[in-house]
């Protein structure tokens, strides 16, 4: 189930909210656990077993880690390793086995039957979350969770289950048992949810439509047309992802949770280093804490630091998808970050701000080309068309599309900056604020509903002929 | 009171989603959507198997979106919202001046493959083949289009078609249509993708020379107008406030007693003494009034025709409003529609003693139809 669907908005959410608030406090985690599983299992009920398996395994590991943590470090460590191995095996099997068999088959003497395993949604996110639990308990950063239902609620918590943010256990450990839902937080959550809904349905989906239409054009779009397309995709992926994170945070607030921010205006960055501090923050934090620093980080000399960075970025890329282009994409940023750290930084710092912005945006946007095309031939053709080797500037059809979506492109560009938030801070405490917020929520809900319903409006066009 | 005002966004939000849910549960479920011409999803039957396979979940989601309270209102709101943010044509339909709703340019990449099939057919066909392709509305009526629109590549496509179709007589209707349109005649419907009766009549006149008949004049017909016509571009667009169109029937009174239409669907053939099926005038989409709309195989016989020639028409629905004009000049017209008709045409030409073949499509349909290969 996804948040930006009629099923979620007009069935699941109202039912869950009503049940949650009539439920006595002590049963609320159990209730959340159950509705989480309904949410998760809606499309693929079989995978609910996977979630329950994950819960039991990590609960057990955590319990033993806590038991031996003080007395027998070696035994405790064994359970951390077990938890990490089981989680990575789940991820490896469901996400990477197909890719692996396919890749191995390129070897001339091998012919393994290709594995086609459906990817359980959210598996990349919740395996990372549960690993953070075992490691945090081992490190003494988080208390053990003795109640398996409460632990299950954390593992399966529906707001961030499918697309993050990756909530570390230590960040919500206290909230799981001691959260207090308030009307103020609920109101804040509603507003954040609506912001996320607007990002997803009003901006990301429109940008996605533009990108798809440009890709489907039967005539070459021209170099400018290609740039318009990849810029639309740049907006689509940001508003889609950060919209989803906002909706998750907003929903969290409605149920008394407080999650950390996942995006912080990444497209206003002046360098790639800054971009990754602002983009998908929870993932970057995870890799830094549980991978980069344990590998030695920057404490073991420059050569080792460079290697560490490349390992982390290889894995970051591969985490995003089981295909070569995601690995390229990760390494591309790894190389850029190493270059920035050791070479470009001095030069960049002296450059005027707009040069820094253009530099960062160029490499971010170009990165999305690598991210989007898993077919290397198509990727090459697209890059060729972007740099105008023997093409038109912009075809008539691409031009018409670009103009049709120009207002939304401008809105997207504007919404990528913190200007709106600054304006909001100014009116936040005025008397008119609640009325304005209400109007905003109504408009977003109304138009989002219209756009979502119209997706299901499919005139059966036999009568077209 | 202050507290209530402060929490107004939350109150409104919860009200909105709860009321939408309640309306979905309470309101009676619709079975059929006339604007979409399809049956809507009903409550799916629950079983353990359907749940585990995920089918129940999928069907329930369809059920919910098909039965959302105020569905048509939301569809309209979406259309007008997109129009307001500058994205005219988001549904594939442009809202044009003069209340025209026009299809955006069709993907032409498969057109020439289909034209190639027609050429192969014409080359081996024992009788003469004539081809008439209706240009797109957006090409003929280019002055009504919004400032920002895709490119209608009819000119380029027509020259390519002419070149390819060397074994057939190609009747190029573009200039005639443009002249007629410039004179203020309505060639295409405003709320439908088809040509009007006048457009069809114009094409009929243009075909006379090649097919070898003298067209009747406009005054030979009794013309009746039927208002409140909401066709396909209206129902796919969501622009519900667009006014309706008027459909005309041009009837030659002399034909009333002598023309029979026989429609074959599967093994069943039904006949009637007329070419117009008036019951369809009660629907929003009135175009099936001509020859009862789409059928695999339709035969029109005229006992009193100018000639005893037999014509085979290979066509899409644009032919339905044109063939009634042709009926004056042929003792028998057979129409086949490859989307439903699967037997070989060469056999038909032989067994029925066909004298002439007319291939009649609109350019958009010819570019997208995947069944034209059956012509061979």
Per-residue HEC secondary structure of A239-302 comes to HHHHHHHHHHHHHHHHCCCCCCCCCCCHHHCCCHHHHHHHCCHHHHHHHHHHHHCCCCCCCCCH
In a domain? residue B270: yes
pLDDT band for position B211 (50/70/90)? Answer: very high
Q: B100 CB contacts (<8 Å, ≥6 apart)?
A: B137, B141, B144, B188, B190
In this complex, the residue of B9, B65, B107 whose CB is nearest that of residue A191 is B9
Tokens of A457: 């409006």
What Cα–Cα distance (Å) separates residue A209 from each residue in A83, A219, A447, B240, B275?
41, 17, 17, 23, 44
Give the sign of the dihedral formed by CA A242, CA A243, CA A248, CA A250.
Answer: positive
Q: Residues A120, A228: one domain?
A: no
Task: Say yes or no: A372 and A423 in one domain.
Answer: yes
The predicted complex's ipTM stands at 0.89
Of B57, B193, B293, the CB nearest to A43: B57
Contact B147, A404 (CB under 8 A): no
Q: Which residues of A touch B285 (CB under 8 A)?
A: 463
pLDDT of residue A459: 62
Domain termination site, one of A156, A179, A202:
A179
Domain of residue B269 covers 98-375
**B67 phi and psi angles, rounded to 5 deg:** -110, 15
Is residue A462 in some structural domain? no
Nearest Cα residue in chain A from B107:
A218
Same-domain pairing of A128 and A216: no
Question: Does the beta-carbon distance from B38 to A187 stay under 8 Å?
Answer: no
Catalytic-labelled residue, pool A178, A280, A320, A357: A320
Contact flag A464-B75 (C-beta cutoff 8 Å): no
Q: Which of B18, B57, B148 sits opposite A403 (nearest CB)?
A: B148
* Percent of chain A residues topping a pLDDT of 70: 97
Chain B residue with the nearest C-alpha to that of A213 = B90
User: Is pLDDT above 60 for A462?
Assistant: no
Cross-chain Cβ contact A460/B88 below 8 Å: no
Give the number of domains in chain B.
Answer: 2
One domain for residues A103 and A209: no
Q: What is the pLDDT of residue A114?
A: 67
Do A162 and A195 share a structural domain?
A: no
Per-residue pLDDT, A464: 38
Quote the CA–CA distance of B68 and B20 in Å, as a whole number.
Answer: 8
Q: Is B159 found in the same domain as B252? A: yes
A159: distance to nearest CA of chain B, Å? 17
Q: Is residue A459 part of a domain?
A: no
Single residue among A153, A179, A205 that ends a domain in this structure: A179
B81, part of any domain: no
Residue B45 lies in a domain: yes
Asked if B315 and B166 sit in the same domain, the reply is yes
My answer on whether B128 and B254 are in the same domain is yes
**Number of separate domains in chain A:** 2
Which of A415, A443, A450 to substitute to test the interface with B, most B CBs within 10 Å?
A450
CA B256 – CA B265 distance, rounded (Å): 24
Both B232 and B115 in one domain: the answer is yes
Check whether residue A143 and residue A258 sit in a common domain: no
Q: What is the distance in angstroms between the Cα of B19 and the nearest Cα belonging to chain A? A: 8
| Angle formed by the axes of helices B318-326 and B197-211, nearest 10° | 60
Nearest to A464 among B65, B71, B193 (CB): B193
Do residues B111 and B244 both lie within one domain?
A: yes
Q: Quick check: is B85 in a domain?
A: no
A27 and A85 assigned to the same domain: yes
Q: Which residues of A touch B90 (CB under 8 A)?
A: 209, 404
Q: Which chain B residue lies closest to A188 (C-alpha atoms)?
A: B10
Greater confidence (B184 vs A160) lies with B184
Chain centroid offset of residue A309 CA: 21
Chain B residue whose CA is closest to A464: B232
- With CB atoms and an 8 Å threshold, state whether A408 touches B87: yes
Distance from CA of B215 to the nearest CA of A (A): 26
Look at A11 and B21 and tell me if their CB atoms are within 8 Å. yes
Same domain, B113 and B62: no
What's the whole-number mean pLDDT along residues B14-26?
94
Is the pLDDT score of B208 beyond 90? yes
Taking the CA atoms of residue A238, residue A244, residue A248 and residue A249 in that order, the dihedral angle to the nearest 10 degrees is 30
Residues B293 and B200 in one domain: yes
Using one digit for the tens of pLDDT, what is the confidence trace for B152-180?
Answer: 999 999 999 999 999 999 999 999 999 99
Cβ of B65 within 8 Å of Cβ of A396? The answer is no
- Asked whether residue A354 falls in the same domain as residue A384, the answer is yes
My answer on whether omega of the bond before A165 falls inside 30° of 0, hence cis, is yes
Question: Each residue of A64-107: pLDDT tens digit?
Answer: 998 888 888 888 888 888 888 998 888 888 888 878 887 777 77
Q: What is the mean pLDDT of residues B315-332?
A: 94
Chain A partners within 8 Å of B62 (Cβ): 456
Whether residue B321 is found in the same domain as residue B198: yes
Q: Once rounded to an integer, what is the mean pLDDT over residues B299-304?
A: 92
Among A121-135, A407-421, B68-82, the minimum mean pLDDT is found in A121-135
Identify whether residues A289 and A163 lie together within a single domain: no
Q: Is B201 a domain residue?
A: yes
How confident is the model over B223-270, as pLDDT tens digits?
Answer: 999 999 999 999 989 999 999 999 999 999 888 888 999 998 888 899
Q: Evaluate whether B9 touches A438 at the Cβ level (below 8 Å).
A: yes
Residues B203, B61 share a domain: no
Structure tokens at A21: 């608030």
pLDDT at A461 over 60: no
Residue where a domain stops, chosen among A129, A162, A179 = A179
Residues A168 and A197 placed together within one structural domain of the fold:
no
Least Cα separation, residue A464 to chain B (angstroms): 7
The answer to whether residues A17 and A254 touch, using CB atoms and an 8 Å cutoff, is yes
Same domain, B154 and B294: yes
Is residue B284 in a domain? yes
CA distance A319 to B146: 45
Structure confidence by residue, pLDDT tens digits, A332-354: 999 998 888 888 888 888 888 89
Catalytic, A320? Answer yes
Q: Residues B293, B245: one domain?
A: yes
Same domain, A360 and A216: yes
Q: Regarding beta strands B222-229 and B268-272, do their DSSP bridges make them parallel or antiparallel, or are they unpaired?
A: unpaired
Nearest to A400 among B150, B339, B369 (CB): B150
Residue A430: give the domain boundaries. 185-454
**Domain's final residue, options B22, B50, B69:** B69
CB contact set of A290 (below 8 Å; sequence gap of 6+): A131, A132, A135
- The pLDDT tens digits for A260-296 are 889 999 999 999 999 999 999 999 888 888 888 888 8
Out of B54, B69, B84, a domain closes at B69
* Nearest-by-Cβ selection for B9 from A187, A406, A447: A187
Task: Tell me: do B160 and B64 sit in the same domain.
Answer: no
Q: Answer whether B6 sits within 8 Å of A45, measured CB to CB.
A: no
Chain B contacts of A7, Cβ < 8 Å?
60-61, 64-65
Q: Are residues A166 and A230 in the same domain?
A: no
Q: Which residues of B touch A42 (CB under 8 A)?
A: 57
Q: Do A187 and B10 make contact, defined as CB atoms within 8 angstroms?
A: yes
Q: Is residue A288 part of a domain?
A: yes
């Amino acid at each position: 189930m996804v948040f930006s669907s009629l099923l979620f908005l007009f069935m699941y959410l109202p039912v869950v909210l009503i049940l949650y608030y009539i439920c006595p406090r002590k049963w609320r985690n159990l209730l959340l656990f159950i509705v989480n599983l309904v949410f998760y299992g809606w499309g693929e009920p079989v995978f609910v077993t996977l979630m329950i398996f994950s819960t039991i395994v990590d609960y057990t590991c955590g319990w033993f880690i806590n038991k031996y943590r003080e007395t027998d470090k070696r035994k405790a460590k064994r359970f951390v390793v077990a938890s990490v191995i089981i989680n990575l095996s789940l991820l490896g099997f469901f996400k990477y086995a197909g890719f692996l068999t396919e890749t191995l088959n390129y070897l001339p003497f091998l012919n393994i039957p290709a594995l086609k395993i459906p990817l359980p949604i959210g598996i990349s996110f919740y395996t990372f979350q549960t690993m953070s639990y075992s490691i945090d308990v081992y490190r003494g950063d988080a208390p053990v969770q003795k109640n398996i239902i409460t632990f299950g609620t954390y593992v399966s918590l529906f707001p961030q289950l499918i697309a993050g943010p990756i909530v570390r256990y230590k960040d919500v450990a206290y909230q799981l048992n001691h959260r207090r839902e308030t009307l103020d937080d609920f109101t804040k959550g509603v507003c954040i949810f609506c912001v996320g809904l607007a990002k997803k349905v009003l901006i990301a989906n429109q940008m996605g439509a533009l990108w798809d239409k440009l890709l489907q054009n039967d005539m070459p779009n021209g170099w400018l047309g290609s740039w318009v397309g990849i810029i639309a995709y740049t907006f689509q992926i940001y508003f889609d992802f950060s919209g989803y994170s906002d909706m998750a945070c907003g929903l969290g607030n409605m149920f008394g949770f407080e999650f950390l921010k996942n995006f912080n205006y990444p497209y206003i960055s002046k360098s790639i280093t800054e971009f990754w501090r602002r983009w998908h923050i929870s993932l970057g934090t995870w890799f830094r804490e549980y991978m980069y620093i344990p590998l030695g980080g920057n404490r073991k000399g420059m050569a080792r630091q460079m290697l560490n960075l490349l390992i982390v970025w290889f894995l970051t890329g591969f985490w995003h998808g089981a295909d070569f282009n995601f690995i390229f994409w990760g390494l591309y940023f790894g190389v850029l970050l190493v270059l920035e750290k050791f070479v470009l930084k001095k030069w960049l710092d002296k450059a005027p701000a707009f040069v820094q912005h253009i530099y960062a945006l160029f490499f971010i946007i170009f990165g999305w080309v690598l991210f989007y095309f898993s077919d290397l031939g198509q990727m090459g053709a697209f890059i060729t068309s972007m740099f105008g080797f023997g093409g038109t500037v912009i075809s008539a059809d691409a031009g018409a599309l670009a103009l049709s979506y120009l207002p939304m492109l401008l809105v997207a560009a504007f919404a990528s900056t913190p200007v709106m938030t600054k304006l909001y801070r100014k009116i936040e405490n005025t008397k008119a604020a609640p009325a304005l917020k209400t109007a905003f929520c109504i408009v977003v809900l109304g138009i989002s509903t219209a756009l979502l319903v119209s997706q299901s409006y499919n005139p059966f066009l036999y009568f077209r002929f | 009171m202050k507290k209530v005002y402060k929490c107004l966004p939350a109150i409104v939000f919860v009200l909105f989603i709860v009321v939408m849910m309640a309306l979905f549960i309470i309101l009676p479920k619709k079975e059929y959507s006339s604007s979409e011409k399809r049956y809507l999803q009903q409550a799916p039957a629950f079983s353990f198997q359907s749940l585990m396979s995920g089918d129940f979940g999928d069907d329930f989601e369809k059920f919910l979106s098909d039965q959302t309270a105020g569905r048509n209102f939301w569809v309209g709101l979406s259309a007008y919202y997109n129009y307001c943010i500058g994205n005219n044509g988001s549904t594939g339909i442009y809202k044009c001046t003069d209340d025209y709703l026009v299809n955006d340019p069709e993907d032409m990449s498969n057109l020439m493959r289909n034209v190639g099939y027609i050429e192969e057919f014409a080359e081996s066909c024992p009788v003469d083949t004539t081809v008439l392709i209706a240009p797109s509305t957006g090409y003929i009526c280019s002055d009504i289009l919004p400032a920002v629109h895709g490119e209608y590549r009819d000119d380029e496509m027509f020259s390519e078609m002419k070149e390819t179709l060397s074994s057939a007589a190609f009747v190029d209707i573009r200039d005639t249509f443009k002249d007629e349109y410039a004179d203020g005649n309505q060639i295409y419907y405003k709320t439908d993708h088809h040509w009007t009766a006048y457009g069809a009549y114009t094409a009929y006149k243009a075909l006379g020379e090649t097919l070898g008949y003298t067209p009747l004049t406009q005054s030979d017909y009794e013309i009746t107008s039927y208002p409140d016509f909401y066709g396909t571009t209206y129902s796919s667009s969501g622009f519900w406030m667009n006014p309706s169109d008027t459909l005309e029937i041009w009837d030659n009174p002399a034909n009333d007693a002598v023309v029979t239409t026989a429609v074959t669907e599967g093994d069943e053939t039904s006949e009637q003494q007329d070419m117009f099926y008036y019951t369809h005038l009660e629907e929003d989409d009135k175009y099936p009034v001509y020859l009862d709309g789409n059928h695999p195989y339709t035969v029109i016989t005229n006992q009193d025709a100018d000639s005893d020639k037999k014509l085979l028409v290979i066509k899409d629905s644009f032919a339905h409003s044109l063939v009634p004009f042709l009926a004056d000049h042929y003792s028998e017209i057979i129409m086949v529609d490859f989307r439903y008709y699967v037997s070989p045409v060469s056999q038909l030409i032989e067994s029925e003693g066909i004298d002439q073949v007319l291939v009649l499509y609109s350019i958009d349909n010819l570019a997208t139809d995947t069944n034209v290969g059956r012509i061979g």
